[in-house]
Structure 1
Amino acid sequence: MERLVLWDIDHTLISTGGVGRELSALAFRQATGVEMREQAAVEGITEPVIFRETAKLHGLATDRGDFERFAAALTQAHLTHSAQLRERGHALPGAAAALEALAAKSGIRQSVVSGNIGAVARIKLEVFGLDRRIDWEAGGYGDDDDVRSALVTLALTRAAGRSEVLRPENAVVIGDTPADVEAARANSVPAIAVASGRSSQAQLRAAGADVVLPDLADTGRLLDALRQTSGRTNSAVPASSERRSAT
């Protein structure tokens, strides 16, 4: 049975070196006519939510049309400034080797679940030469839905075909935030977390990750983690989630 690996992008595979926020500010100004003075929380959040909450911080009420204008401007900004992204950003250690190692394994299909707009997700990985092993049609992206767990559901459906959904034990989510882990758990999909972003290994374990790695630098450890999670489902609610739901 084919296994679907769903990668997060930012702080899992790449770092934009601050360029991402600058391009978001540029697109925000173009879409709203207002200078972006501050930005809402972005860790593990989808692009439509980031845009909407950032607009609120500036006293703006927005609708889907405003977001679509922002998405178009953000895509164009990434195309226009791709050289700057390449110069200041970088692929994270082990990312390229991990993608290649998984591609060399029979029965593994790689795609993306990301809060990024689909076109921006593609540009980010293309800039750093990480796009060649990705099945883009099987992914879930920020312009598909506001809710990250719904993006995992969508990816499972797209990977399997219109009339069925890929079984959770035949997929795995790899990401760097508790939101990645929780989106996987909401779909009973196992999660491998990498502490290459702002979340610590302890925070990722508390979120309920099946396996936590410090980063992707050791390809062997990643392959071991994939073996450990093969055929497993993950739907139990961790204690940290129970505490959050009570607040």
Structure 2
Amino acid sequence: MTSRPLTVGFDLDMTLIDSRPGIHACYLELSERTGTYIDADLAVTRLGPPLAEELGNWFPAERVEAAGDLYRELYPAIAVSATPALTGAREAIEAVRQGGGRAIVVTAKYEPNAKLHLEHLGIEPDAVIGDLWAERKAEALREYGARVYVGDHVGDVRGARAAGALSVAVATGPCDEGELRAAGADVVLADLAAFPDWLAANRTLFSRYRESPRA
């Protein structure tokens, strides 16, 4: 077996970016276009799960797919420019790179829109994999040989554990520290600003490891 540098996976919404303003605006436009009431204030308090799950709270089952298609169509013009990076996002990616590692983004968001966010903010991970939620995130984490996965939701913790990766949680999303620890997070940080110091203190634990199929 050969060894490879550390690969760290990151979630996107409420981990690297504060997508609440853009998503809020997109839900309001979707509501206007479809004539269907959506409580955008409520919806943005529970970001993380796939879009279809949230739309199922507002649309009958037979309309969810069409509503999702329209939402994704509206999204680039409405949501991308309204969405800032979260504190420490760029520095977290750079901390992985400075040690010769790779940073990937694994998200439940529609992959083309996830890439638009990162391009707009000038954040350049080594790979972006979308449309994966909770345990299914393990598919990409295993493929890329990620040993650490950083996310804000209990679903991210489950994805990390399913992949056999260390779960580093940040309390910047809808789940508080207690929920994240109860779900099995190995480490909980207040936000990504604390990640570079944590990584520097623990890098020797992950600096080299066995080659994965994609590594």
TM-score w.r.t. the length of structure 2 is 0.78
Counterparts of 2:159 and 2:71 in 1: how far apart (Å)? Answer: 25
Question: How much identity, in percent, do the aligned residues show?
Answer: 25
Q: Residue type matched to 1:188 in 2? A: G
Q: Which residue of 2 aligns with 1:116?
A: 109
Q: Residue type matched to 2:54 in 1? A: I
Q: Which residue of 2 aligns with 1:5?
A: 8
Taking the TM superposition and a 5 Å limit, the aligned residue runs for 1:88-99 are 89-99=83-93
Change (3 A) 1:84 1:189: closer
Contact 1:71 1:117 in 2 (8 A): no
Taking the TM superposition and a 5 Å limit, the aligned residue runs for 1:133-172 are 133-136=125-128, 139=129, 141-142=130-131, 147-157=133-143, 159=144, 166=145, 170-172=146-148
Which one of 194, 209, 213 corresponds to residue 218 of structure 1? 194
Taking the TM superposition and a 5 Å limit, the aligned residue runs for 1:27-66 are 27=30, 30=33, 33-38=34-39, 42-55=46-59, 60-62=60-62
Contact 1:13 1:91 in 2 (8 A): yes
Contact 2:26 2:79 in 1 (8 A): no
Contact 1:5 1:109 in 2 (8 A): yes
TM-score w.r.t. the length of structure 1 is 0.69
Change (3 A) 1:154 1:16: closer
Query: How far 1:228 moved relative to its partner?
Result: 7.3
Q: Which residue of 1 aligns with 2:183?
A: 207
Q: SS at the partner of 2:25?
A: helix
Change (3 A) 1:82 1:51: closer
Counterparts of 2:167 and 2:80 in 1: how far apart (Å)? Answer: 33
Establish whether residue 175 from structure 1 lines up as the match of residue 176 from structure 2.
no
Counterparts of 1:111 and 1:196 in 2: how far apart (Å)? Answer: 19
For structure 2, the residue ranges without an aligned partner over 5 or more in a row are: 210-215
Q: SS at the partner of 2:12?
A: coil
Contact 1:46 1:114 in 2 (8 A): no
Change (3 A) 1:182 1:110: same
Q: SS at the partner of 1:217?
A: helix
Q: Which residue of 1 aligns with 2:77?
A: 80
Q: How many residues align?
A: 202
Q: Which digits, 9 at most, give the CA deviation of each residue in 1:146-189, with x for residues without a partner?
A: x42113214423x3xxxxxx4xxx42110011121122112322
Contact 1:100 1:133 in 2 (8 A): no
Establish whether residue 19 from structure 1 lines up as the match of residue 22 from structure 2.
yes
Q: Which residue of 1 aligns with 2:213?
A: none
Q: Which digits, 9 at most, give the CA deviation of each residue in 1:172-209, with x for residues without a partner?
A: 11001112112211232211011122322222222111
Q: SS at the partner of 1:90?
A: coil
Change (3 A) 1:15 1:156: same
For structure 1, the residue ranges without an aligned partner over 5 or more in a row are: 160-165, 233-247
Q: Residue type matched to 2:50 in 1? A: T
